[in-house]
């Protein structure tokens, strides 16, 4: 093995799971230097992203956050494979950063998670390497100056051109008395270690809309109607240009019967739109070609009569294209694999999980946050 050229060894290692590479750092100094090289980390990440787009195998881990104890747990996506009948064990993560109660994970990007805590602190965290980075506090004074209904949303993404991870926070105040909507948008740069204000978000954003990252862009469900919860737009923020764009909804949604709720997500490297019709059904649309309206296809539809339970609590987590199966979280209590051909769901038995939980899929990566393990400093340098 010592006779293998360094270029060949680098290519071989870049195709291995990130968990193995962490252990292989102990083989020798040369391997450690190779695995820790930022160029190698980028190469390995590219291979992982290709696997996700291929949707042929389970890549990454599902992070659970207990509703009662607010602890974090991990499940390997491969271990949740529906072909077996064994019980899957959830692993409690004792190395997660903590200043207080952890709220639901906000999102993930390239193996980095954005999590928030009850005291208002936000963290970037790599569950695999155990590195984390505390974001400095952001003071939004707009809510103190204006009367009305205040809310904010947050999201995490990656600026490819700048090779920089960015956190976006959008704060809005709406005064129903004079229909006045004020908005402020801020971006945190991991490279710079600071917040700055950018162009304001141009529409009223849905309170329940999480920032979904895809194609260098963060996406939110929004509305052109400040007084109504129409949720009739998908608005994207390009993290490189730091400008906004509109993405089309499926043409079929322009009919008379509107969904009571919509949620964005990503499955198999594609944007998805989940449409909930009260207790009637859940429709999940997938945009096969990013930004192209005619590429929307209905991936599946789950009716209330399919013996699955309340469809309004179903949320797509992962997609195995080769098997034609989607992993769904149901009622904050369980996971099931939904077969797109037979329209049948198969529950996953999990030992050691919290009674009720939220979940977030996070790929395993070697992405560095430029801080030492356990370092709670806000200085990223």
Burial of 62 (C-beta count, 10 Å sphere; 0-12/13-18/19+): buried
Residues of the chain with CATH 2.120.10.80: 52-362
> What average pLDDT does the segment 137-155 reach?
72
pTM metric for this prediction: 0.88
pLDDT at 139 over 80: no
Query: Which of the pair, 183 or 143, is modelled with greater confidence?
Result: 183
At 270, the pLDDT band (50, 70, 90 cuts) reads very high
Query: Which of the pair, 59 or 283, is modelled with greater confidence?
Result: 283
| 350-351 and 88-89 beta bridge pairing | parallel
Mean pLDDT taken over the chain:
83
CATH topology (fold) of 52-362: Neuraminidase (2.120.10)
Distances (CA, A) of 355 to 68, 93, 106, 361: 8, 16, 20, 19
> What average pLDDT does the segment 153-165 reach?
93
pLDDT at 127 over 80: yes
At 378, the pLDDT band (50, 70, 90 cuts) reads very low
Helices vs. strands in the chain: H and E counts, helices first: 5, 27
> What average pLDDT does the segment 240-252 reach?
93
pLDDT at 181 over 90: no
- Give 203-241 pLDDT, tens digit per residue: 888 776 678 999 999 999 988 765 555 668 899 999 999
How many other β-carbons are positioned within 10 Å of the β-carbon of residue 233? 20
> What average pLDDT does the segment 111-138 reach?
87
At 265, the pLDDT band (50, 70, 90 cuts) reads very high
pLDDT at 375 over 60: no
> What average pLDDT does the segment 130-141 reach?
84
Q: What are phi and psi of 24, to 5 degrees?
A: -70, -15
pLDDT at 129 over 60: yes
Q: At what angle do helices 29-36 and 38-54 cross, to 10 degrees?
A: 60
At 101, the pLDDT band (50, 70, 90 cuts) reads low
- Give 275-334 pLDDT, tens digit per residue: 998 878 899 999 999 999 999 999 999 987 666 777 888 999 998 888 889 999 998 889
At 152, the pLDDT band (50, 70, 90 cuts) reads confident
Please state whether 82 falls in left (phi above 0), alpha (psi between -120 and 50) or beta: alpha
pLDDT at 374 over 60: no
Tokens representing 32? 């450690």
| Bridge partners, 170 (sequence order) | 153, 185
Pair 360, 103: CB distance under 8 Å:
no
> What average pLDDT does the segment 87-101 reach?
74
Pair 152, 164: CB distance under 8 Å:
no
| Bridge partners, 302 (sequence order) | 282
Percent of the chain with pLDDT strictly greater than 70: 83
- Among the ranges given (42-51, 137-146, 206-215, 289-298), the one the predictor scored with the smallest mean pLDDT: 137-146
pLDDT given for residue 379 in this prediction: 34
At 146, the pLDDT band (50, 70, 90 cuts) reads low
């Amino acid at each position: 093995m010592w006779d293998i050229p360094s270029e060949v060894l680098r290519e071989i290692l870049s195709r291995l799971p990130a968990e193995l590479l962490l252990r292989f750092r102990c083989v020798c100094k040369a391997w450690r230097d190779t695995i820790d090289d930022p160029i190698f980390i980028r190469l390995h990440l590219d291979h992982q992203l290709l696997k996700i787009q291929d949707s042929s195998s389970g890549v990454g881990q599902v992070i659970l956050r207990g509703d009662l104890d607010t602890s974090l747990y991990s499940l390997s996506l491969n271990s949740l494979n529906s072909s077996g009948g064994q019980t899957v064990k959830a692993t409690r993560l004792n190395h997660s950063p903590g200043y207080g109660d952890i709220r639901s994970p906000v999102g993930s990007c390239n193996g980095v998670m954005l999590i928030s805590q009850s005291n208002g602190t936000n963290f970037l965290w790599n569950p695999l390497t155990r590195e984390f980075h505390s974001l400095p506090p952001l003071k939004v004074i707009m809510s103190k100056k204006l009367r009305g209904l205040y809310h904010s949303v947050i999201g995490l993404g990656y600026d490819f051109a700048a090779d920089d991870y960015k956190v976006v926070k959008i704060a809005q105040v709406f005064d129903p008395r004079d229909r006045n909507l004020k908005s402020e948008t801020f971006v945190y740069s991991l490279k710079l270690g600071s917040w700055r204000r950018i162009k304001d978000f141009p529409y009223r954003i849905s309170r329940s809309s999480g920032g979904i990252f895809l194609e260098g862009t963060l996406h939110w469900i929004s509305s052109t109607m400040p007084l109504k919860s129409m949720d009739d737009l998908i608005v994207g923020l390009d993290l490189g240009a730091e400008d906004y764009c509109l993405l089309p909804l499926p043409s079929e949604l322009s009919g008379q019967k509107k969904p009571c709720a919509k949620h964005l997500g990503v499955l198999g490297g594609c944007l998805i739109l989940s449409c909930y019709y009260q207790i009637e059904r859940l429709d999940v649309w997938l945009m096969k070609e990013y930004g192209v309206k005619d590429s929307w296809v209905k991936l599946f539809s789950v009716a209330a009569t399919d013996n699955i339970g309340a469809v309004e609590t179903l949320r797509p987590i992962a997609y195995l294209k080769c098997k034609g199966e989607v992993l769904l979280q149901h009622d904050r209590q369980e996971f099931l694999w939904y077969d797109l051909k037979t329209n049948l769901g198969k529950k996953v038995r999990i030992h050691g999980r919290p009674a009720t939980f939220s979940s977030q899929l996070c790929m395993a990566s070697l992405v560095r946050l430029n801080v030492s393990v356990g370092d709670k400093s806000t200085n990223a340098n």
